[in-house]
Amino acid sequence: MRLSLVIDELMKKDLVNVIDEEVNSLEITTITRSYKGEKVLLFTRVKGTDMPIVTNLIGSRRVLKEFFNAKNDHEVYMKLMKACEMPIKCKEIPFKSSSFTRRIGADLGRLPQLVYYPEDPGPYITSGVLIAKGVKSGICNASIHRLLILGKERMTIRIVPRHLWQLYKEAVNEGRTLPVAIIIGTHPLILIAASSSPPFGVYEVEVANALMNNKLEITKSPNYKIPIPAHGEILIEGEITAEEEDEGPFVDLTGTYDIVRKQP
Protein backbone atom coordinates (compact mmCIF):
# COMPACT_ATOMS: atom_id res chain seq x y z
CA MET A 1 0.00 0.00 0.00
CA ARG A 2 1.32 3.45 -0.95
CA LEU A 3 1.76 6.08 1.75
CA SER A 4 -0.95 8.28 0.21
CA LEU A 5 -3.48 5.49 0.76
CA VAL A 6 -2.31 5.05 4.36
CA ILE A 7 -2.86 8.78 4.95
CA ASP A 8 -6.37 8.50 3.51
CA GLU A 9 -7.17 5.75 6.01
CA LEU A 10 -5.74 7.74 8.92
CA MET A 11 -7.80 10.78 7.91
CA LYS A 12 -10.98 8.73 8.26
CA LYS A 13 -9.98 8.08 11.89
CA ASP A 14 -9.18 11.75 12.63
CA LEU A 15 -5.47 11.01 13.06
CA VAL A 16 -4.21 13.58 10.52
CA ASN A 17 -3.99 17.37 10.65
CA VAL A 18 -3.84 18.97 7.19
CA ILE A 19 -1.87 22.22 7.01
CA ASP A 20 -2.72 24.15 3.85
CA GLU A 21 -0.80 27.35 4.62
CA GLU A 22 2.44 27.79 2.67
CA VAL A 23 5.46 26.94 4.83
CA ASN A 24 9.22 26.64 4.47
CA SER A 25 11.33 23.79 5.83
CA LEU A 26 12.26 25.50 9.12
CA GLU A 27 8.59 26.26 9.75
CA ILE A 28 7.80 22.58 9.18
CA THR A 29 10.25 21.67 11.96
CA THR A 30 8.73 24.21 14.37
CA ILE A 31 5.15 23.15 13.65
CA THR A 32 5.99 19.45 13.90
CA ARG A 33 7.66 19.90 17.29
CA SER A 34 4.67 21.88 18.56
CA TYR A 35 2.32 18.93 17.97
CA LYS A 36 4.51 16.61 20.08
CA GLY A 37 3.62 13.59 17.97
CA GLU A 38 -0.10 13.73 18.72
CA LYS A 39 -1.22 13.53 15.09
CA VAL A 40 0.22 12.88 11.66
CA LEU A 41 0.83 16.18 9.86
CA LEU A 42 0.26 16.68 6.13
CA PHE A 43 1.75 19.87 4.66
CA THR A 44 0.16 20.53 1.27
CA ARG A 45 2.04 23.73 0.29
CA VAL A 46 5.79 23.72 0.85
CA LYS A 47 7.96 26.47 -0.61
CA GLY A 48 10.26 25.30 -3.38
CA THR A 49 8.46 22.05 -4.23
CA ASP A 50 5.17 20.77 -5.61
CA MET A 51 5.35 17.70 -3.37
CA PRO A 52 3.32 17.44 -0.15
CA ILE A 53 5.24 16.47 2.99
CA VAL A 54 4.15 14.18 5.82
CA THR A 55 5.65 14.35 9.32
CA ASN A 56 4.89 12.68 12.68
CA LEU A 57 3.96 9.52 10.79
CA ILE A 58 4.78 7.29 13.76
CA GLY A 59 4.74 10.04 16.36
CA SER A 60 2.37 8.56 18.93
CA ARG A 61 1.55 5.21 20.48
CA ARG A 62 -2.04 5.63 19.33
CA VAL A 63 -0.97 5.76 15.68
CA LEU A 64 1.60 2.99 16.22
CA LYS A 65 -1.06 0.67 17.65
CA GLU A 66 -3.29 1.55 14.70
CA PHE A 67 -0.65 0.32 12.24
CA PHE A 68 -0.12 -2.88 14.23
CA ASN A 69 -3.82 -3.45 14.85
CA ALA A 70 -2.82 -3.86 18.48
CA LYS A 71 -4.55 -3.03 21.76
CA ASN A 72 -1.46 -2.18 23.81
CA ASP A 73 2.33 -1.76 23.74
CA HIS A 74 2.94 -5.39 24.72
CA GLU A 75 0.97 -6.62 21.72
CA VAL A 76 2.97 -4.31 19.42
CA TYR A 77 6.22 -5.67 20.85
CA MET A 78 5.18 -9.31 20.53
CA LYS A 79 4.02 -8.86 16.93
CA LEU A 80 7.32 -7.20 15.99
CA MET A 81 9.39 -9.90 17.70
CA LYS A 82 7.40 -12.66 15.98
CA ALA A 83 7.88 -10.97 12.59
CA CYS A 84 11.66 -10.72 13.17
CA GLU A 85 11.77 -14.41 14.09
CA MET A 86 9.41 -15.55 11.32
CA PRO A 87 9.81 -13.26 8.28
CA ILE A 88 7.76 -14.08 5.18
CA LYS A 89 9.10 -13.96 1.63
CA CYS A 90 7.25 -11.51 -0.60
CA LYS A 91 5.47 -12.07 -3.88
CA GLU A 92 7.47 -10.48 -6.73
CA ILE A 93 5.84 -8.42 -9.48
CA PRO A 94 7.37 -6.69 -12.55
CA PHE A 95 8.63 -3.14 -12.01
CA LYS A 96 6.18 -1.88 -14.64
CA SER A 97 3.38 -2.96 -12.27
CA SER A 98 4.82 -1.03 -9.32
CA SER A 99 3.31 2.25 -8.19
CA PHE A 100 6.14 4.73 -7.69
CA THR A 101 4.57 8.09 -8.46
CA ARG A 102 7.60 10.40 -8.56
CA ARG A 103 10.69 10.02 -10.72
CA ILE A 104 13.42 12.54 -10.06
CA GLY A 105 15.91 11.21 -12.61
CA ALA A 106 19.47 12.20 -11.72
CA ASP A 107 18.53 15.51 -10.06
CA LEU A 108 18.19 15.40 -6.28
CA GLY A 109 17.25 19.07 -6.46
CA ARG A 110 13.77 17.99 -7.50
CA LEU A 111 13.20 16.62 -4.00
CA PRO A 112 11.89 18.87 -1.21
CA GLN A 113 15.00 20.59 0.14
CA LEU A 114 14.39 20.26 3.88
CA VAL A 115 16.78 22.04 6.24
CA TYR A 116 15.55 21.21 9.74
CA TYR A 117 17.64 23.57 11.88
CA PRO A 118 19.52 26.80 11.06
CA GLU A 119 23.00 25.28 11.45
CA ASP A 120 22.36 22.24 9.24
CA PRO A 121 25.02 22.05 6.49
CA GLY A 122 22.36 21.49 3.81
CA PRO A 123 19.12 19.68 3.02
CA TYR A 124 18.68 16.18 4.43
CA ILE A 125 16.67 13.07 3.63
CA THR A 126 15.79 11.61 7.03
CA SER A 127 13.09 8.98 6.48
CA GLY A 128 14.14 7.23 3.30
CA VAL A 129 14.37 3.43 3.52
CA LEU A 130 17.79 2.50 2.11
CA ILE A 131 17.99 -1.01 0.65
CA ALA A 132 21.26 -2.70 -0.26
CA LYS A 133 22.25 -6.12 -1.55
CA GLY A 134 25.70 -7.49 -0.77
CA VAL A 135 27.92 -7.60 -3.87
CA LYS A 136 29.42 -10.93 -2.77
CA SER A 137 27.10 -12.36 -0.11
CA GLY A 138 23.83 -11.40 -1.79
CA ILE A 139 22.45 -10.48 1.65
CA CYS A 140 19.72 -7.82 1.53
CA ASN A 141 19.30 -5.15 4.18
CA ALA A 142 16.76 -2.37 4.67
CA SER A 143 17.59 0.41 7.12
CA ILE A 144 17.14 4.13 7.71
CA HIS A 145 20.03 6.59 7.61
CA ARG A 146 20.22 10.34 7.32
CA LEU A 147 21.45 11.50 3.92
CA LEU A 148 22.96 14.93 3.33
CA ILE A 149 22.33 16.20 -0.20
CA LEU A 150 25.58 17.62 -1.64
CA GLY A 151 24.51 18.25 -5.24
CA LYS A 152 22.32 17.06 -8.09
CA GLU A 153 23.81 13.56 -8.06
CA ARG A 154 25.70 13.33 -4.77
CA MET A 155 24.90 12.67 -1.11
CA THR A 156 26.80 11.56 1.94
CA ILE A 157 25.34 9.06 4.39
CA ARG A 158 25.77 8.59 8.13
CA ILE A 159 26.53 4.89 8.59
CA VAL A 160 27.10 3.34 12.01
CA PRO A 161 28.84 -0.06 12.36
CA ARG A 162 25.79 -2.27 11.86
CA HIS A 163 24.42 -4.33 8.99
CA LEU A 164 24.64 -1.75 6.18
CA TRP A 165 28.20 -1.04 7.28
CA GLN A 166 29.01 -4.75 6.88
CA LEU A 167 27.66 -4.75 3.32
CA TYR A 168 29.52 -1.52 2.55
CA LYS A 169 32.84 -2.92 3.82
CA GLU A 170 32.19 -6.13 1.86
CA ALA A 171 31.97 -4.03 -1.31
CA VAL A 172 35.02 -1.90 -0.43
CA ASN A 173 37.09 -5.03 0.26
CA GLU A 174 36.12 -6.30 -3.19
CA GLY A 175 37.19 -2.98 -4.73
CA ARG A 176 33.60 -2.23 -5.69
CA THR A 177 30.85 0.26 -4.89
CA LEU A 178 27.66 -0.79 -3.09
CA PRO A 179 24.50 -0.32 -5.19
CA VAL A 180 21.51 0.89 -3.17
CA ALA A 181 17.89 1.88 -3.62
CA ILE A 182 16.24 4.56 -1.48
CA ILE A 183 12.47 4.63 -1.08
CA ILE A 184 10.75 7.74 0.24
CA GLY A 185 7.07 7.55 1.14
CA THR A 186 6.24 3.95 1.94
CA HIS A 187 4.03 2.01 4.35
CA PRO A 188 4.82 2.81 8.02
CA LEU A 189 5.26 -0.88 8.85
CA ILE A 190 8.15 -0.94 6.37
CA LEU A 191 9.70 2.01 8.22
CA ILE A 192 9.31 0.15 11.51
CA ALA A 193 10.80 -3.06 10.12
CA ALA A 194 13.72 -1.10 8.64
CA SER A 195 14.31 0.41 12.09
CA SER A 196 14.41 -2.99 13.79
CA SER A 197 17.44 -5.20 14.29
CA PRO A 198 16.81 -8.80 13.25
CA PRO A 199 19.91 -11.00 12.84
CA PHE A 200 22.23 -10.15 9.94
CA GLY A 201 20.89 -11.92 6.87
CA VAL A 202 17.22 -11.51 7.78
CA TYR A 203 15.73 -9.12 5.23
CA GLU A 204 13.73 -6.41 6.98
CA VAL A 205 11.31 -6.13 4.05
CA GLU A 206 10.30 -9.73 4.77
CA VAL A 207 9.83 -8.74 8.42
CA ALA A 208 7.48 -6.01 7.18
CA ASN A 209 5.66 -8.59 5.06
CA ALA A 210 5.04 -10.69 8.17
CA LEU A 211 3.65 -7.60 9.92
CA MET A 212 1.42 -6.94 6.89
CA ASN A 213 -0.02 -10.46 6.81
CA ASN A 214 1.82 -11.44 3.62
CA LYS A 215 0.34 -8.57 1.59
CA LEU A 216 3.62 -6.81 0.73
CA GLU A 217 4.78 -7.17 -2.87
CA ILE A 218 8.34 -6.62 -4.06
CA THR A 219 9.87 -5.76 -7.40
CA LYS A 220 13.41 -5.43 -8.79
CA SER A 221 14.80 -1.90 -8.99
CA PRO A 222 15.29 -0.95 -12.66
CA ASN A 223 19.04 -0.22 -12.57
CA TYR A 224 20.55 -2.55 -9.97
CA LYS A 225 17.87 -5.25 -9.69
CA ILE A 226 17.65 -4.89 -5.91
CA PRO A 227 14.50 -6.48 -4.41
CA ILE A 228 12.49 -3.55 -3.05
CA PRO A 229 8.90 -2.93 -1.90
CA ALA A 230 6.83 -2.51 -5.05
CA HIS A 231 4.73 0.41 -3.86
CA GLY A 232 6.00 3.80 -2.75
CA GLU A 233 6.09 7.47 -3.67
CA ILE A 234 9.74 8.10 -4.68
CA LEU A 235 12.53 5.73 -5.76
CA ILE A 236 16.19 6.76 -5.98
CA GLU A 237 19.03 4.46 -7.06
CA GLY A 238 22.73 5.07 -6.54
CA GLU A 239 26.03 3.66 -5.29
CA ILE A 240 27.88 4.10 -2.01
CA THR A 241 31.51 4.68 -2.90
CA ALA A 242 34.71 4.67 -0.84
CA GLU A 243 35.02 8.44 -1.32
CA GLU A 244 34.27 10.37 1.88
CA GLU A 245 32.83 13.83 2.57
CA ASP A 246 31.98 15.86 5.69
CA GLU A 247 28.62 14.81 7.16
CA GLY A 248 26.96 16.97 9.81
CA PRO A 249 26.48 18.68 12.11
CA PHE A 250 22.92 17.40 12.54
CA VAL A 251 20.50 17.52 15.49
CA ASP A 252 20.03 13.95 16.72
CA LEU A 253 17.63 12.34 19.23
CA THR A 254 19.29 14.13 22.15
CA GLY A 255 18.19 17.48 20.72
CA THR A 256 21.81 18.58 20.33
CA TYR A 257 24.08 18.82 17.30
CA ASP A 258 26.05 15.71 16.44
CA ILE A 259 29.68 16.15 15.39
CA VAL A 260 31.00 16.40 11.83
CA ARG A 261 32.44 13.13 10.49
CA LYS A 262 33.95 11.88 7.27
CA GLN A 263 31.35 9.57 5.75
CA PRO A 264 30.92 7.80 2.39
Asked if the model's pLDDT at residue 103 lies above 80, the reply is no
The domain total for the chain is 1
Range name among 7-16, 90-99, 160-169, 206-215 with the lowest pLDDT average? 90-99
Q: Report how far Cα 226 is from the mean position of its chain's Cα atoms.
A: 16
- Is the predicted pLDDT of residue 147 greater than 90, yes or no? yes
Catalytic residue among 107, 120, 252, 258: 252
Residue 228 lies in a domain: yes
pLDDT tens digit sequence for 190-241: 999 999 999 999 999 999 999 999 999 999 999 999 999 999 999 999 999 9
Which CATH number fits the domain that encloses residue 81?
2.30.110
Confidence of residue 105 (pLDDT cuts 50, 70, 90): low
Q: Report the mean per-residue pLDDT for the chain.
A: 93
Contact 230, 218 (CB under 8 A): yes
Helices (H) and strands (E) in the chain, counts: 7, 15
First to last CA, the chain: 32
Name the phi and psi angles at 170, rounded to 5. -60, -45
Contact 167, 218 (CB under 8 A): no
246 is known as an active-site residue = no
144 within domain boundaries? yes
Which residue range(s) make up the domain with 55? Answer: 3-241
Angle at 2 between CA 49 and CA 146, to 5 degrees: 60
Q: Is 254 within the bounds of a domain?
A: no
What's the pTM value of the predicted model, to 2 decimals? Answer: 0.94
Please check whether residue 124 lies inside any domain of the structure: yes
Asked if the structure places residue 248 within a domain, the reply is no
What burial class does residue 83 get, using C-beta atoms within 10 Å of its C-beta: 0-12 exposed, 13-18 middle, 19+ buried? buried
* Residue 256 lies inside a defined structural domain of this protein: no
Is 125 inside a domain boundary? yes
User: What CA–CA distances, in Å, run from 132 to 71, 101, 162, 232?
Assistant: 34, 21, 13, 17
Question: Is residue 10 included in any domain, yes or no?
Answer: yes
- pLDDT given for residue 102 in this prediction: 66
